[in-house]
C-alpha cells in the first residue's frame, strides 16, 4: 500500500507541476462555466414567461446543472486522453520506467498508484466544477441531492475515462498514440447507444445500450443513483486496469 501512495502522490504532484494539467483545467472550467451561465439566463427567461402566461415551470436543477454536467462529460471525453496519455507511456519514452519496473512492485501496484494519483486530480477537477452549481444555493433552491448525484456521476465518468486512458498509456511508449487509442475507445463507449437505438428490442441493441456510457450517466444527472449504474462504471474501470496489468506482464515476456 505504501508504494501505491508514493506513486499516487508523485503523479498528482507532477500533474500540477505540468502546465498541461493547469491548461486543461482552465479550459474545462471556462467552457462549462460559460455554458452554465447561459443555461441560467435561459432559465430566468423561461421563468418570466411562465409567470406571464401561467404554468408550473421547469425544475431549476434540471434546466441548469444537468445540462452543464452533461456537457462537462463531453469535454472530459476530449480532454482526459490528453491528461492520461503521459501516465506510463511518458515514463517509457523518457526511460524512467526501468527505475519503477525494477522496484519491488507488482504491475497492479504500479497501475493503482498511477490511477489513484489521477483520481486525486479528477477529484479536484470535479470539485472545481461543483462551484457553479453550488452558487445556485445563493439565489434559489436547487435540488441538493440531484446536484450531488450529478457530481458523483461526473466523477465516475471521469474515473472510467481515466482507467481507459491508463490502459491505453500502458499499451504504447508514445503518449500521442496513447491519447488516440483512449479517445477512440472512449468515443466508442459514448456512441454505442446511438448504434443501439436503431432497432429497439433487439438483444444486440440492448447490449449496446448497456455498454454505452451515456445512458448510465444520464440517470445520475436526473438524480437517480442505482447500483446497476454504479456497477457499470466500476466494471469498466476494473476491466481497463486488468487489461493494463496483462499488458505490463506481457511486456516482461515480449521485451
**Minimum CB distance to another protein smaller for 113 or for 223:** 113
Residue closest to 128 by CA, chosen among 29, 16, 37, 61: 29
19 contacts another protein (rule: CB under 8 A): no
To another protein, the closest distance from the beta carbon of 112 in angstroms equals 13
**Minimum CB distance to another protein smaller for 98 or for 199:** 98
Asked if residues 219 and 146 have their Cβ atoms less than 8 Å apart, the reply is no
> For another protein, which residue of 22, 30, 94, 199 counts as binding (CB under 8 A)?
94
**Minimum CB distance to another protein smaller for 173 or for 229:** 173
> For another protein, which residue of 98, 140, 184, 199 counts as binding (CB under 8 A)?
98
Instruction: Please tell me the distance from the alpha carbon of residue 88 to that of residue 92, in angstroms, as a whole number.
Output: 6
23 contacts another protein (rule: CB under 8 A): no
**Minimum CB distance to another protein smaller for 91 or for 229:** 91
DSSP line for 12-36? HHHHHHSHHHHHHHHHHHHHHHHHH
> For another protein, which residue of 49, 51, 96, 206 counts as binding (CB under 8 A)?
96
255 contacts another protein (rule: CB under 8 A): yes
> For another protein, which residue of 51, 103, 222, 226 counts as binding (CB under 8 A)?
103
Alpha helices by DSSP H, 85-106:
86-93, 97-101
Q: Report how far apart, in Å, the C-alpha atoms of 188 and of each of 25, 94, 194 are.
A: 24, 30, 10
Sequence-ordered list of residues with C-beta below 8 angstroms from that of 109, at least 6 positions apart, any chain: 3, 4, 7
**Minimum CB distance to another protein smaller for 107 or for 150:** 107
Intra-chain end-to-end CA distance of the chain, in Å: 28
To another protein, the closest distance from the beta carbon of 2 in angstroms equals 7
18 contacts another protein (rule: CB under 8 A): yes
Instruction: Please tell me the distance from the alpha carbon of residue 183 to that of residue 53, in angstroms, as a whole number.
Output: 46
Instruction: Please tell me the distance from the alpha carbon of residue 91 to that of residue 105, in angstroms, as a whole number.
Output: 16
Sequence-ordered list of residues with C-beta below 8 angstroms from that of 239, at least 6 positions apart, any chain: none
106 contacts another protein (rule: CB under 8 A): yes
Number of residues in contact with another protein, rule: CB under 8 A? 24
> For another protein, which residue of 55, 200, 201, 252 counts as binding (CB under 8 A)?
252
Which residues bind to another protein, rule: CB under 8 A?
2-3, 6-7, 10, 14, 17-18, 94-106, 252-253, 255
Amino acid at each position: 500500500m505504501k508504494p501505491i501512495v508514493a506513486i499516487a502522490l508523485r503523479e498528482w504532484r507532477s500533474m500540477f507541476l505540468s502546465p498541461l494539467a493547469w491548461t486543461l483545467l482552465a479550459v474545462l472550467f471556462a467552457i462549462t462555466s460559460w455554458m452554465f451561465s447561459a443555461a441560467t439566463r435561459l432559465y430566468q427567461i423561461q421563468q418570466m414567461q411562465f409567470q406571464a402566461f401561467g404554468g408550473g415551470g421547469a425544475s431549476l436543477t434540471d434546466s441548469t446543472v444537468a445540462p452543464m454536467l452533461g456537457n462537462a462529460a463531453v469535454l472530459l471525453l476530449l480532454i482526459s486522453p490528453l491528461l492520461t496519455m503521459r501516465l506510463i507511456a511518458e515514463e517509457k519514452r523518457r526511460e524512467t520506467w526501468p527505475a519503477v519496473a525494477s522496484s519491488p512492485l507488482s504491475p497492479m501496484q504500479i497501475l493503482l498508484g498511477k490511477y489513484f494519483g489521477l483520481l486525486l486530480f479528477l477529484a479536484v477537477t470535479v470539485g472545481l466544477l461543483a462551484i457553479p452549481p453550488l452558487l445556485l444555493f445563493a439565489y434559489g433552491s436547487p435540488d441538493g441531492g440531484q446536484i450531488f448525484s450529478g457530481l458523483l456521476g461526473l466523477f465516475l465518468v471521469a474515473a472510467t475515462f481515466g482507467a481507459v486512458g491508463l490502459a491505453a498509456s500502458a499499451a504504447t511508449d508514445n503518449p500521442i498514440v496513447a491519447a488516440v487509442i483512449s479517445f477512440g475507445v472512449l468515443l466508442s463507449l459514448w456512441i454505442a447507444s446511438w448504434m443501439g437505438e436503431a432497432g429497439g428490442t433487439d438483444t444486440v441493441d440492448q447490449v449496446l445500450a448497456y455498454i454505452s456510457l451515456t445512458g448510465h450517466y444520464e440517470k445520475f444527472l436526473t438524480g437517480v443513483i442505482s447500483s446497476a449504474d454504479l456497477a457499470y462504471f466500476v466494471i469498466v474501470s476494473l476491466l481497463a486496469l486488468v487489461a493494463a496489468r496483462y499488458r505490463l506482464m506481457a511486456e516482461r515476456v515480449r521485451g
